[in-house]
Amino acid sequence: MTTRHLIKTALTALKAHKSRSFLTILGIVIGITAIILVMSIGQGAQDLILSQIQGLGSRTIVVIPGREPSGPSDVAQIFSDSLKEKDLALISRKENVPNAEKIMPIVFGGESSAYGNETYRATVLGASADVFDVFDIYPAGGVPFSESDVRGRQAYAVIGSKVKDELFGGSEAIGERIKIKEKNFRVVGVLPKKGQVSFFNFDEIVLVPYTAAQDSLFGIKYFHRFIISADAEKNIARVVEDLQATLRNSHGITDPKKDDFFVQTQEDLAARIGIITNILTLLLVSVAAISLIVGGIGIMNIMLVAVTERTREIGLRKALGAANRDILRQFLLEAVILTGIGGILGILTGALLAFGVSLILSQALGLSWTFSFPISGALIGFLVSGIIGLAFGIYPARKASQKNPIDALRYE
């Protein structure tokens, strides 16, 4: 029996029971759809996170207080107070870190800001005047605060566009005073719409000199981060080494394993984010793959029913000269065609749903979410669906091929 004839016969048999064939492949469709959807959303999330991280620039280095977390129990370490004013003074000295272009200390926290009867909870970011260059954002109205304002501990604020809208509406904000933790800050600038950059949404932020934030808002004498820009990408590794050596000397640390701070580059952070999102995606894909096994069992069950229903057909085909291998190949081909169609439908459905989700996230929520079609996921899904067809179709096909033609013809 030729392959062409086998395919024609298998398609005819499947068309004879369209509803049953569709319900049979539904498990495969759902499984492949889930895999495509999860992989697409996972890739989109990773791209979004990485784009936000890279918004700081590839030459950016971050010093974080506390021991570097190696597990969930170490997360509390990052709230350490190990970065002090003396550390800032030491790393700012050119002889200690000669390849550092900009060094910016920051403190931050969520605080309610008020103007008149309006209040809005924003992220308060205390920083040096370099914050505008480092994050590449400048006031659309008014002026940024200066380094002399930072040294003078001036209560100046540059507010994000959403903060301005929530507190002032259509009124002018420049020159007005907003109250944060009972302290009045004069608005000297309003930022344009910027959205997320790194871990800060600059539309919902209040920028103030870090000295004023330490004294009047947070009541602390330490820093939450140091953000350093290397003078060239080739010098990033050297800047990291100089920072570590300077801070260890400042803190009296001789064993690197006892560091009470850690240094991250954008490359390090991107690699870690990539690993985390890939692991989460793989976990979710594994869960989604369970439905493929359920779908495969459904196909085997339906194929066994089909073998029983078509016993007389099998007997007649054998009486006309069909060999066992021809019957085996026919029923096995039917199972593979079913799973193959399910795989194609699942890929298309998953892609459409993923595109819809990306559209909703990018437009309705205002995220810079891009649709990503997982080609590897589509190939894996199609390959797995074919393997499932073979794996779960072999038993019913073999059972059909071993039927005795005489007994099959007598079957009622």
Distance CA 305, CA 395 (A): 12
Classify 344 as helix, strand or coil. Answer: helix
Q: Which two structure tokens, joined as six digits, stand for 79? A: 């709230």
Distance CA 262, CA 65 (A): 7
Distance CA 334, CA 300 (A): 11
The answer to whether the beta carbons of residues 153 and 185 sit under 8 Å apart is no
Per-residue pLDDT of the chain (412 residues; tens, 9 = 90+): 566 666 666 666 666 666 777 777 777 788 888 888 888 887 777 777 666 655 556 678 889 998 876 654 444 454 578 899 999 999 999 999 999 888 999 999 999 999 989 999 999 999 999 999 888 889 999 999 999 999 999 999 999 999 999 999 889 999 999 999 889 999 999 999 887 776 788 899 999 999 999 999 999 999 999 998 888 878 888 998 999 999 999 999 888 888 889 888 876 666 666 677 777 777 777 776 777 777 777 777 777 766 666 666 666 666 666 667 777 777 777 777 777 888 888 888 888 988 888 888 777 666 667 777 888 777 877 777 777 777 766 766 666 666 655 555 554 5
Residue 222 is classified by DSSP as B
Residue-wise pLDDT tens digits, 151-188: 999 999 999 999 999 999 889 999 999 999 889 999 99
Distance CA 369, CA 62 (A): 25
Alpha helices for 213-323 (secondary structure H): 236-251, 266-309, 311-319
pTM: 0.59
DSSP β-ladder status, 60-65 and 156-159: unpaired
Q: Which two structure tokens, joined as six digits, stand for 36? A: 């495509």
pLDDT of residue 280: 75
